[in-house]
Amino acid sequence: MKQQKIEKARLTTILIISLFVIITGTLFAIQSFKNQKVTGGILGIIIAIIILIFAIIVYKRGNSDLKNRLPLKDERSKRVIEKATSMAFLVSLYLLLAIGFLSENIIKFRDISQATSTAVGGMALLFLIFWIYYNQKTM
């Protein structure tokens, strides 16, 4: 019973942090649109939507598991997260290199914060893709 309360608190904390990130992304998008920076605004909205979808999936699945008296993390789910994280990290290194090489002539970023936001959004998207892939694949 005590473990159940701890896991419920952990799930609620994840939801609250996700909501803060979503609010921050939305405020960034609104501020970008006010400053006539459409690309930054669209990127902020995309990141907020991706995090919102991911947060809803995690919360629904976690809440369902808690109602069925299952642990939030078992050996398989830990392994899926480990694999997804490591692959997302490795591919993100190449993403960062590509952004660095292409930002000189091909991709014109407004400033370093736009390049950083693009990289972070890409990294989050990579993690989501690898998590979905490894979650569907039998480990």
- What count of other Cβ atoms lies within 10 Å of the Cβ of residue 43? 20
- Look at phi and psi of residue 109 and say left if phi exceeds 0, alpha if psi is from -120 to 50, else beta: beta
Question: 22 near 52, Cβ under 8 Å?
Answer: yes
Report pLDDT for 131: 86
120, pLDDT greater than 80: yes
Instruction: Identify which of 53, 95, 66, 82 has the alpha carbon closest to the alpha carbon of residue 8.
Output: 66
Categorize the per-residue pLDDT at 110 as very low, low, confident or very high, splitting at 50, 70 and 90: low
Q: Which two tokens stand for residue 4?
A: 């159940």
Report pLDDT for 99: 75
pLDDT digits (tens, 9 = 90+) for 1-24: 677 777 778 778 888 888 888 888
Instruction: Identify which of 4, 20, 118, 22 has the alpha carbon closest to the alpha carbon of residue 66.
Output: 4
106, pLDDT greater than 80: no
Q: What is the DSSP letter of 1?
A: -
Report pLDDT for 1: 63
Report pLDDT for 86: 92
Q: Which two tokens stand for residue 16?
A: 């609250």
pLDDT digits (tens, 9 = 90+) for 69-101: 776 677 887 888 889 999 999 998 888 888 777
Three-state secondary structure call for residue 72: coil
Question: 11 near 72, Cβ under 8 Å?
Answer: yes
pTM for the complete prediction? 0.59
| Residues in contact with 133: Cβ distance below 8 Å, sequence separation at least 6, in sequence order | 84
Domain boundaries, the chain: 1-72, 73-139
pLDDT digits (tens, 9 = 90+) for 26-73: 888 888 888 887 777 787 788 788 888 878 887 887 778 777 777 667
Q: Which two tokens stand for residue 50?
A: 């991706």
